[in-house]
Amino acid sequence: MADECRAGDFLEWVAPDISTACVFSRLDDHADLVRATAVSRTWRRFVIENNLSKSLCVRLCPEVATVAAAAEVTRSLSSPSAPESDSERDYRIYSNLASALVSDSGNPSVGCVLRCVGASSTDTFPDETMVHTLDKGELVNFRPSYWSSCGADDPEEPESLTYRLNSDICIIDEIRVQPFLAFFQYGEPIYSSKTVRFRMGHYKLPHGSESFVTHENENKMINADKKYTWTYTSPEFPMLQENVLQSFKLPCPVLCIGGVLMIELLGRVQKQEADDKYYICVCHVEVIGRSLSPLFMIDISEPGGYSILKYLPDAKNLSAEDKVQDNTNDSLEWQSLVARYMQMNHIAVLNARLMHINFMLEDDDEGVSDDDPLE
């Protein structure tokens, strides 16, 4: 009997519901779950068939629950020699996703804003457009750099700023917002909001068809109910009426699926003396996180809005030169996804260079001895 016990499988002696409740559901490290699958074929089959790797991802980031399906996109046109089940494929994809969610050693947190999408209102275009919120300085090219809402009689009228992030799938843990101090107005008022809230999700139109800030459409394009699907909404955070870059740490890191972030500015504090209306003005915005691309990408299926997680295992081994090479042996889906990643990465690099140029110009401006930069 002793020999039989030593040779037996633990799951064959314990009922599946007990093992799930008492053992597997308590594993909070993806490495432990992977090790469990190596113990025996029974354990491996149990983990795979019950999709426990995705369950772990959902516990790490609840937004994963909105993913409708997962697919693996390889570079090669040839199919794998050994067929595998959908459950085995999903186990591999979500195991790697769990690893990416908790590991930041190779991809530290950085600024994630790619570009502006639009503002709920703008007082004066282009002098007060939201693109100025990407500038780090309060003064650029001899002019104050900030976004201003239109004036309102109601102090509770909200405003919003919407940004496109530099990845379709990224981890966000902090947003920074700096209210604007109107140093050119009497008393130097600060036009902050009372509180701030953040939404993350995706645009409902097909990928690449988004409209962006222009003179004609900036004040018309933002409508969260009709144009966006939000997969995460943060609690409200109080905003100080101070001219500093205020940090808002999310309760836990959020998986932004779709690459769109909206900053909701709720409640108004300051009236403008000239017209006796309430305004909200923002000097600078930063979104801090890390991209999971190109190892993972997201495709949004419309009109249903289903998100499909794409896993590109070959992407981790590619050099920058390989990524831009046109290899006819690559699958069409691989080429499309990598081209999309490279395009977004290229835009992010250009934006970073432009912001650096603005920063250098700002440093030059500080050396000018004019008493009033607006005169």
Least confident piece of the model among 19-23, 150-154, 227-231, 293-297 = 19-23
pLDDT band at 72; cut points 50, 70, 90:
very high
Give tens-digit pLDDT for 77-91: 665 556 778 899 999
Please give the mean pLDDT across all residues of the chain.
80
DSSP H helical ranges for the chain: 2-7, 10-13, 16-22, 30-37, 41-49, 52-60, 86-102, 224-227, 320-324, 332-366
Q: Which residue has the tokens 């999408």?
A: 117
Angle in degrees, CA 102, 105, 107, rounded to 5: 90
Give tens-digit pLDDT for 277-333: 999 999 999 999 999 989 999 988 766 678 899 999 988 766 444 544 556 667 888
pLDDT at 44: 85
CB 299 within 8 A of CB 207: yes
Residue 141 has pLDDT above 70, yes or no: yes
Give tens-digit pLDDT for 121-136: 999 888 899 999 998 8
CB 53 within 8 A of CB 91: yes
pLDDT band at 362; cut points 50, 70, 90:
very low
Give tens-digit pLDDT for 33-62: 888 778 778 878 888 888 889 989 999 999
pLDDT at 366: 46
pLDDT at 82: 64
pLDDT band at 355; cut points 50, 70, 90:
low
Q: What CA–CA distances, in Å, run from 277 to 13, 156, 185, 274, 291?
A: 73, 12, 14, 8, 40
pLDDT at 18: 55
Burial class (CB in 10 A: 0-12, 13-18, 19+), 76: exposed
pLDDT at 276: 95
Determine the Cα–Cα distance for residues 247 and 344; give it in Å rounded to an integer.
Answer: 26
pLDDT at 226: 74
Q: Regarding predicted confidence, which is higher, 286 or 354?
A: 286
Residue type, 152: A
